[in-house]
Amino acid sequence: MDEIGIIVSSDDPKSLAMATNLGHVALTMDTDVFLYFTFDGLTHLLEGEKDLSSVQPLLDEGMPNPYDMLDQLIADGGEAVTSVACTTTLDMLQWEQEAIDDDLTTQFAGAVTFLEAAEEADHVFTF
């Protein structure tokens, strides 16, 4: 089976929307998805309300909520989707793992885990 790696390092909800859309398309093509949330992108995995003000005009025009898209990608993907919260970033920002939404995160790991997955991936994308 094919696999893609997706690095999410931006806190922009548009970046999350692009990453999750790509993940959904990959699943339809029978391709595994490895999402690696690091730096500012890690904020997408935090528990609690999300600020969608920067994409509100797009949402008003019909773009799906990027956080709903992430939920759906993880739910639809099952074992074909791995969602990783970067432990190095957590340590640097002094955030506790308990702040990360367990429903969105299948694994806590550092760069070595991503590099191993990227080595096996057919393509790696960054958002």
Domain boundaries, the chain: 2-126
pLDDT computed for residue 36 by the predictor: 98
The answer to whether residues 126 and 78 touch, using CB atoms and an 8 Å cutoff, is: no
- Mutual orientation of helices 66-77 and 13-28 as an angle, nearest 10°? 30
- The average pLDDT across 42-71 equals 96
Show contacts of 52-57: CB within 8 Å, 24+ apart.
Answer: 52/13, 54/12, 54/13, 54/14, 55/13, 55/14, 55/17
CATH architecture of 2-126: 3-Layer(aba) Sandwich (3.40)
- The average pLDDT across 92-120 equals 94
